[in-house]
Amino acid sequence: MRLGIDIGSTTIKYVVLDDAGRCIDQDYQRHSCQITEKLIEVLQRVSAKYNQTAMALAVSGSAAMGLQEKCSLPFVQEVYATRIAATKRLEEVDCIIELGGEDAKILFLSGGLEVRMNGTCAGGTGAFIDQMATLLNLSAEEMNEAAKQAEKIYTIASRCGVFAKSDIQPLINQGADKEDLAASIYQAVVNQTIQGLAQGRKIEGHVVYLGGPLTFNSELRAAFDKTLKLTGVCPENSLYYVAIGTALLAEEPVNFADAIEQLQTMDASSFVRSLPPLFADEDEYRRFSERHQRNQVRVHEPKEITGRCALGIDAGSTTVKMVLINEQEEILYSMYQPNQGNALQLVREALIELMRANPRMEIVSSCVTGYGEDLIRSAFGVDAGIVETMAHFTASRKYMPDVDFIIDIGGQDIKCFKIHNGTIDNIFLNEACSSGCGSFLQTFANALGYEIEDFSRLGLFAKHPVDLGSRCTVFMNSSVKQAQKDGATIDEISAGLSISVVKNALYKVIRTADARSLGKHIITQGGTFYNDAVLRAFEQELDTEVIRPNIAGLMGAYGCALHALRHCPDASSLLNLDQLEHFHNEIRYVQCGLCNNHCRLTVNQFSDGRKYIGGNRCERPVTKKSTAQDLNIYAVKRELLSQYKPVPGPRGKIGLPLALNMMELLPFWHTFFTELGFEVVTSGFASLEKYQKAQNSIPSDTICFPAKLVHAAIQSLLDQQIPAIFYPCMTYNMREKNADNNYNCPVVAYYPEVIAANMQQVTQCDFIYDYVGIHRQKNFPVKVHKILNQHFRVGLREVIKASKKAYEAYDQHLETIRQKGQEIITQAQLDDREIIVLAGRPYHADPLVSHDIDKLITSYGAAVISEDVINEEVGKKELGVWNQWTYHSRLYAAARYVATQEKMNLVQLVSFGCGVDAITTDEVREILEEHGKIYTQIKIDEITNLGAVKIRLRSLFAALKQEEEHHD
């Protein structure tokens, strides 16, 4: 007999094969990180069951790699084991897709063996599905059943759980059906697997599904089938293929008693990196607790509340907080509860209970903030809504008038802001990742079988906290499991996780170089800071004492109540008790047709006839107020680009991908080829459907989103059966007066090579991707003539004439943008509007790349221009930088210009993956902050959390308004 044991990231599986290779025994169970104990249990069980002292044995799996060195157990690589099992057990197989607890693999078996595996990220695996099921308050089985009833699919990120939570939580708060969310989660897993692992190779032929998630979730298999346009097979014993292959490869007899003894005596603690303890002893902890107990906000909760009161509600991502205050600004009532995915019902029940218990209470004003602000305000007639940053700032100033730095860590949000001269001076928010927030610790506590309060206390007196760094939650999963395998205790891991929360906030969100420079009067807020281990780690990292109010988790709601008391009308529009008792809402889904976004909207219809619309990317479905929509240079750019339409020509069609640098160069190339007699067809602006159709050809998951969209643009041209596609490599961009040099970003410059190497479909057409230098106007016609003559018959004189027209068209295009931009500036100044310089790259004109952030900004009443409108207003000598990049020189010039203008501030769009932006950002920030300007950076990707972007923009405009009022 042969024994094969597969020790994965979350489960342990074993099979016993007889002499004929038949499976005569098998078992599958979660090991809950108790890997050594479970492995010993398996060895003892098999030894006793078959009365064997030794057996041919081998181990495999991600959690078994160190056992060969530590206890001499033969190890088989899991991919090789899978391949052996598949080739011996299945008649025909071209591709294997295997999803495990934290592992994902695609094995291409036909046409030469090729293996694709996830690295240290567990996004789109079983652990991810478990996290999402928990978020929906469903078991894994219930989520699969729910998905069968789905009617629509939402766009949800699956790169990791925290990204997905940021997408799902607003949908839950807006009333989306769990059935639709369940199916959307499965589709997200499919997209992540194909995009992240296929990386340019097509999945086709006979496809086999293996692993727990694909075995137990029929709707996940159905989603794969639908996306891949095939019917995959989930074979018998699909859970055990790694174990079967391992058993087939087991050759060396292993003595069970010797192996068990080695496992029991194995010491792996030397592999653990540790940090200094949080508290040396209980006496030090006592002094720490006494110091923080002095930081009290007056709380007075009488048996019955009477008189005039103000209500504050904080509908957060994972919790709902409510505070009721009297006219002396004392707290009379408070509530702090998990929202369980239904904030609307929770707030309704809390208000009914509060009003029934206090009939002589009069709520004269109310205010709400948080993720569910708009829904709660619309549903219950709350008088006002304010952005989270202003709510927390209001509460902090009540508590500490000279506060200069506030940090709030909530369930999925980190909000930090600096205060200068009584005004919010800088804002930091986590935009696309909730790593390091309260849900980060909650997830680990639950995974290890603890309540969060008990888990946090474990770390207070750990002697050697584990050094886990500051990484994303799914990365940290692997680190925690490795630490456990290496002998770390639960209390050491608890302390290490609390420390990692602090490091993530300081070095990933705030991105501070010196934590001690944040300020002298620091207030900590948010439920996460109730955790003494996190608070202590924060003080240790800053090397200073900070203030944690006794209502740290209620500060947002308290700030709302203060705002309501000070600013809202005396006659509240809040629903009364009778209206609340008869309140109900119905949900329906529609697709908006007011613009090209075609948003899928969630319409909540309330019992009194009012309604709330969620899911919109712009403000058009929900507001009729006048905005600055016409004062938007990005709308002008899109209109200008849309005017370049095909003109029939004698030389046939040629395609241009509308992506990366080709976005700004479209006037040049369209004019050039049209003059040569070609009918120029563009790919058009990107769409999610185009992107998903081409995602299997993207070779790198870490490349920036605009580069990924090149694949969609090329695929769009191929689908139109364009016979020739022109997409040249361009090391240099056009020369500009303020640039010391004019390099393109390496991704922009050489991405045509990536397309040629990874999109096999381009062999179906004449794909022209030679190196071209349009920056040398005199040499360009000769060079491009040689290139084109390899594909078409064109004369040099024709090319020279077309080139002249192309340069003129390009110059005119930029001049038109500058003129339109100046008109916007003039009109905005006449209207006394704020002007936001939305700085980015040419491809940010694409609505999918920019996520319509320009429209969000104009919805707040500001005018929007871009950096290329004003970059020539500054002379080269004024810049004071030596710069090699064309687009960066524009950004430096724009920052210098903004610094000299009234009511003009800068928001920079940065795509994830653009590494060269890091240095530029710091220098631009210094230029603007030196002149007292507000600077905001928004990082964007395909998985950007638009809710966080809205929070950041609302905070920006609230700060601008506050600054204006402060100076008045």
Sheet holding 384-385, edge to edge: 331-338, 319-326, 307-315, 361-369, 384-385
Report the pLDDT value the prediction gives residue 625, as an integer from 0 to 100: 44
Sign of CA dihedral 801, 807, 809, 812: negative
Look at residue 321 in the predicted model and tell me its pLDDT.
Answer: 92
Q: What is the pLDDT of residue 218?
A: 93
User: What are the angstrom distances between the C-alpha of 602 and each of 186, 585, 599, 911?
Assistant: 20, 12, 10, 29
The confidence score (pLDDT) of residue 617 equals 57
What span, in angstroms and rounded, lies between the C-alpha atoms of 430 and 414?
6
**Better-predicted residue by pLDDT, 480 or 389:** 389
Phi, psi values for residue 464, rounded to 5°: -135, 75
3-state secondary structure of 908: strand
> Helices 662-675 and 633-642: crossing angle, nearest 10°?
30
Q: Which helix (H) or strand (E) holds 835?
A: strand 835-839
**Comparison of pLDDT for 799 and 490, the residue scoring more:** 799
Residues facing 367 on adjacent strands: 312, 384
- How far is it, in rounded angstroms, from Cα 921 to Cα 925? 6
Q: Closest Cα partner for 170 from 392, 327, 339, 44?
A: 339
C-alpha–C-alpha distance, residues 606 and 616, integer Å: 19
Give the Cα-Cα-Cα angle 790, 795, 800 (nearest 5 degrees): 110
pLDDT of residue 111 exceeding 80, the answer is no
3-state DSSP assignment of residue 547: strand
User: Strand locations in 516-591, DSSP E?
Assistant: 522-525, 585-591
Query: The pTM is what?
Result: 0.68
Burial of 872 (0-12, 13-18, 19+ CB in 10 A): middle
What phi and psi, each to the nearest 5 degrees, are found at residue 680?
-90, 120
Which of 849, 866, 954, 870 has the alpha carbon at shortest distance from 912?
849
Whether the per-residue pLDDT at 572 is higher than 90: the answer is no
Residue 657 scores a pLDDT above 90 = yes
pLDDT higher than threshold 80 for residue 861: yes
pLDDT at residue 141 tops 60: yes
**Dihedral Cα 919, 923, 929, 930, nearest 10 deg:** 150
Closest CA to 453 of 522, 530, 391, 519: 530
Q: How confident is the model at residue 668 (pLDDT cuts 50, 70, 90)?
A: very high
Percent of the chain with pLDDT over 90: 15
Query: How confident is the model over 340-348, as a mean pLDDT?
Result: 80
Sign of CA dihedral 889, 895, 900, 906: positive
CATH architecture of 405-546: 2-Layer Sandwich (3.30)
Cα–Cα nearest to 349, from 584, 536, 589: 584
Tokens found for residue 559: 């700030």
Sign of CA dihedral 658, 661, 667, 671: negative
Q: Does residue 962 carry a pLDDT above 80?
A: no
Cα–Cα distance measured from residue 556 to residue 389, given in angstroms and rounded to the nearest whole number: 8
Least confident range from 128-132, 562-566, 791-795: namely 128-132
CA torsion through residues 800, 805, 808, 814, sign: negative
CB contact at 8 A, 180 and 154: yes
Q: Which of 956, 9, 4 is nearest to 482 (CA)?
A: 9
pLDDT(905) > 70: yes
Q: Determine the residue type at 395.
A: A
CB 845: neighbour CB atoms within 10 A? 24
Instruction: Give mean pLDDT, residues 181-207.
Output: 84
* Closest residue by Cα to residue 905 from 370, 424, 371: 424
Say how far apart CA 749 and CA 896 lie, in whole Å. Answer: 27
Q: Cα(895)–Cα(921) distance, rounded to whole angstroms?
A: 11
453: part of which helix (H) or strand (E)? helix 452-458
Instruction: Give the angle subtended at the CA of 931 by the CAs of 926 and 937, to the nearest 5°.
Output: 45
Instruction: With a cut of 50, say whether residue 626 has pLDDT above it.
Output: no
Q: Which two tokens stand for residue 220?
A: 């996940």
Predicted pLDDT of residue 899: 85
- CA 73 – CA 68 distance, rounded (Å): 5
Comparing 307-400+558-581 with 405-546, is the CATH topology the same? Answer: yes
Q: CB neighbours (10 Å) of residue 896?
A: 23
Range 451-481 burial, b when 16+ CB lie within 10 A, else e? ebeebbbbbbbbebbbebebbbbbbbbbbbb
Task: With both helix axes pointing from N to C terminus, report the angle between 473-485 and 438-447 in degrees, rounded to the nearest 10.
Answer: 40
**What is the pLDDT at residue 271?**
47
State the Rg of the chain over Cα. 30
> Which DSSP symbol is given to 744?
P
The pLDDT value given to residue 649: 86
pLDDT bracket for residue 615 (50, 70, 90): low
For residues 155 and 159, what is the distance between their CA atoms, to the nearest angstrom? 12
3-state DSSP assignment of residue 839: strand
Query: Model confidence over 3-53: pLDDT tens digits?
Result: 999 887 678 889 999 888 888 898 988 776 677 888 888 889 999 998 988
* Rounded average pLDDT over 380-406: 87
- Give pLDDT tens digits for 309-343: 999 999 876 789 999 999 888 899 999 888 766 78
493-516 pLDDT per residue, tens: 888 888 888 887 777 766 676 767
* Rounded Cα distance, 683 and 456, in Å: 53
Euclidean distance between CA atoms 366 and 704, whole angstroms: 43
- What is the number of helices (H) and of strands (E) in the chain? 36, 29
Distance separating alpha carbons of residues 458 and 442, to the nearest angstrom: 14
At 868 the pLDDT is 86
Q: Which residues contact 565 (CB under 8 A, 6 or more apart)?
A: 310, 325, 327, 329, 365
Judged against a pLDDT cut of 50, whether residue 172 lies above it is answered with yes
Two tokens at 506? 């300081």
| Lowest-confidence region among 321-330, 518-527, 626-635, 684-693 | 626-635
Q: Cα separation of 820 and 111, whole Å? A: 55
Residues sharing a CB contact under 8 Å with residue 610, sequence separation 6 or more, in sequence order: 378, 379
pLDDT band, very low/low/confident/very high, at 864 (cuts 50, 70, 90)? very high
Neighbours of 336 (CB within 10 A): 17
- For residue 466, name the pLDDT band (cuts at 50, 70, 90): confident
Average pLDDT score, the chain: 82
Mean pLDDT, rounded, for 809-814:
92
**Contact at 8 Å (CB) between 97 and 207?**
yes
Q: Are 154 and 183 in contact (CB under 8 A)?
A: no
Kindly report the backbone phi and psi dihedral angles of residue 664, in degrees, each rounded to the nearest multiple of 5, phi listed first: -80, -25
pLDDT at 624: 45
Q: Would you kindly state where each structural domain of the chain is located, as residue ranges?
A: 307-400+558-581, 405-546, 585-614, 635-813, 818-967
Question: What amino acid is encoded at 254 in this protein?
Answer: V
What is the tens place of the pLDDT at every residue in 432-450?
A: 555 556 667 777 777 677 8
**Closest by CA position to 376, among listed 414, 347, 334:** 347
Strand pairing category for 207-210 and 319-326: unpaired
Would you place residue 679 in the very low, low, confident or very high pLDDT band (cuts 50, 70, 90)?
very high
pLDDT at position 368 over 90 = yes
SS3 letters for 770-830?
CECCCCCCCCHHHHHHHHHCCCCCCCHHHHHHHHHHHHHHHHHHHHHHHHHHHHHHHHHHH
**Tokens 């048996």, residue?**
303
Give residue 960's pLDDT band: very low, low, confident or very high (50, 70, 90): confident
* Residue with the two structure tokens 């120029």: 680
3 state SS of 719: helix
Q: How far apart are CA 647 and CA 636, in angstroms?
A: 22
Q: Phi and psi (nearest 5°) for 938?
A: -120, 115
Q: What is the largest CA-CA distance in the chain?
A: 93
SS3 track for 88-118: HHCCCCCEEEEECCCCEEEEECCCCCEEEEC
The CATH code that applies to domain 818-967 is: 3.40.50.11900
Under CATH, which number does the domain 307-400+558-581 receive? 3.30.420.40
Strand order in the sheet with 653-656: 679-682, 653-656, 724-726, 766-768
Query: What's the number of CA atoms in the CB half-sphere (13 Å) around residue 300?
Result: 11
The average pLDDT across 683-710 equals 83
Tens of pLDDT, residues 198-227: 776 788 889 999 988 999 999 999 999 998
Q: What is the pLDDT of residue 64?
A: 74
User: Residue 299: its pLDDT value, please?
Assistant: 81
Asked which of 143-147, 612-616, 893-897, 953-957 is least confident by mean pLDDT, the reply is 612-616
